Chain A
Amino acid sequence: MPFIPHTDEDIRQMLAGIGVDSINALFDEIPADLRDPGLPGIPAGVTEMEISRVMNARATGDILGPCFLGAGAYRHHVPAAVWEIATRGEYYSAYTPYQAEASQGTLQLIYEYQSMMAGLMSMDVSNASLYDGASALAESVLMAVRANRKSKSGRILVPDTVNPLYRDVTRTIVGNQGIELETVTSNASTGALDVATLKQWDGEDVAALVIQQPNWFGRLEEAQALTDWAQRNGALVIAVVNPTAMAVLTPPGEWGANGADIACGEGQPLGIPLSSGGPYFGFMCCRRAFVRQMPGRIVGRTVDLEGRTGYTLTLQAREQHIRRSKATSNICTNQGLMVTAATMYLALLGAEGLERVAGHCHANTRQLTERLTDLKGVSLRFEGPYFHERVLELDRPTEPLCQQLASQGVLAGYPLGRHDKRLSNALLVCATETVTEADMDRFEEALGHALARAA
């Protein structure tokens, strides 16, 4: 009986206390034809030693080598202290801090997280996090429609330079709420948006414009001019940004004359392991005036009966457990444990450390792409400023090529043809601070060999 502490004597006495003669009698309100299905399809239980053997075998069976894959999830160094402390039982096995007096650790930590995130984004306020970057964008879209009182259209402009997986998720989540997601086409030769393209919406009712920085192709968007255009036209600006990049790039709060209205994105680069795609966390910041429209948990600082500083969940009346069908969202949780890790990651690195990490990501990507474009059959697909991802154009389809390189232990990048057939020969590559000279040698050599064979 794994994890059940009852002795036979306990059971006997407890049943006597209740006044029944068997545990089964406690289920007598369940209709008999529903009771005790037996579960033949479930294997017998195993001990910790046995399951350890299974998991160790499966974990080592998964091939890992140099990683040049990004496209929304990034391999960064995670300081050992981060998860040593985040998995302390007091963080790991606590629940949402409803009882503030017994949750000051989690609450103060979230307040610190909100401060760091608002600082990194240069925004007024941050919430305590959402599920992931994609769902944070979906929630930002819903929030923008609520917050933009002047707009009646529910129309959101979403450029094709926004991560296509984020666009898919947003469509799934907002699809039944009368919101119209309209695509803005980017410049096919630069891989970025031209402000002039937006002219077709001049004077029209648009609730918000989404701007991803760096964009899906790794390119830097003209965030300043795009923001100014949107706000001149009465649209809010939703920024989707990479948090590592914000150590060195203009943060959303400083875009254009007035700054972005909502900033969101994927928090994974901040100390969260890749772990096959989750759990990660989505972050969300906004202008102070919109704080009551922001979904998710928010922690505030206050005082106790004796005037001592303390922290508590605040603005809870917006949430589903009180507001029910009129809540800002059905979201209950934040991604508490991930935020615990990210807070420690940011505290360890500070602005200086994060700038160094960001700088090395950029420099490694520059070096990698310079080396690879020297190979015959490889060129740059998009020129122009970038952060830590760039698109290469190869002389053949990249989907099978990536499979081939993976079998040699190199994760070569992301084949962009998955979302756009015109980009079937394009490869999105990324080199974070974890990539070494030897990793690049191995990539260059493997790719060179593959390309030397006839396409």
Chain B
Amino acid sequence: MTAPLVSIRGLKVAFANGAVRAVDGVDLDLARGEVVALIGESGSGKSVTLRSLLRLNPERRTQIEGAMSVDGRDVLAMGRRELAQYRGGVASMIFQEPLLALDPVYTLGQQIVESIRRHESVGAAEARARALALFERVRIPSPERRLDSYPHEMSGGMRQRAMIALALACRPKLLLADEPTTALDATVQIQILLLLRELQRDLGLSIIFVTHDIGAAVEVADRILVMYAGRIVEEGSARDLIRTPRHPYTIGLLKSRAHGALSKGSRLEAIPGSPPDLANLPPGCTFAPRCPLVIEACQAERPPPIPVGPGHRARCIRVNEAAAIAPTAEELLGV
């Protein structure tokens, strides 16, 4: 196997002078052409991890430890010029709310042309031709006319397509997607996910995408990483993680999905309690206060990743007991 495109080792990100540990020791490898989904609830550190890969967190107020390399470059050691070339050129990002992430006073064409010309010395006409090709690529109808539209003149799904086109403008190798479908209608969500999958296949992109929707993760990801309180608590192939979840938190997430076939009168299972205060983490397993399987040993020390299958690890000392409470296939399908 060739060297991974992205390699993160022991990433720790802290805000507010180290008081808030948003990311607390994340290891992540991403092969070329692989799609990985980071899932977890708000504040679990998934977006911060993603932003760290582009060094977008405010430099003065953030402390970063660990090592990150993308395409053979050390992300944390880059100088200003190299960083500018890297952002957009090697790794680029699509955001949750395209209406906010696109500048309202410029047409979409102008924004894409500007991004291309920032990275490569091409003429305005050529940059525009490339923008047009990108719009066709992300299947925006009547692309020629849409290039001259302002963001507010388009529908949400169309804007997200345009945002993807903008992110792909400089032919990056790595696409970081921060909840790309959360702000969209359910019907549009699946179209965008399929588009991402298709682009990934055609362009050989690697994608890390952050979501709190397990359904979306299963749809596009090869591998799923579940984050809780700044740590990856379980990782494995999408298939393994759904069929045989081994961390109580993953199990809780799967059970708490509101499913279409939820029969009337049956209760939607929720995870009790709320996520821990990142400024005041418990010493042992961070999920222990909410865990149905908690024993005394859980509160003693941080559980190490325990292998439970090929490429499947869970940070839980009670993986075997957890297997018993995992939802059955019937429960998952809602039959």
Q: Is A bound to B?
A: no
Give the interface of B toward A (CB within 8 A). Answer: none
Residues in chain A within 8 A of chain B (CB atoms): none
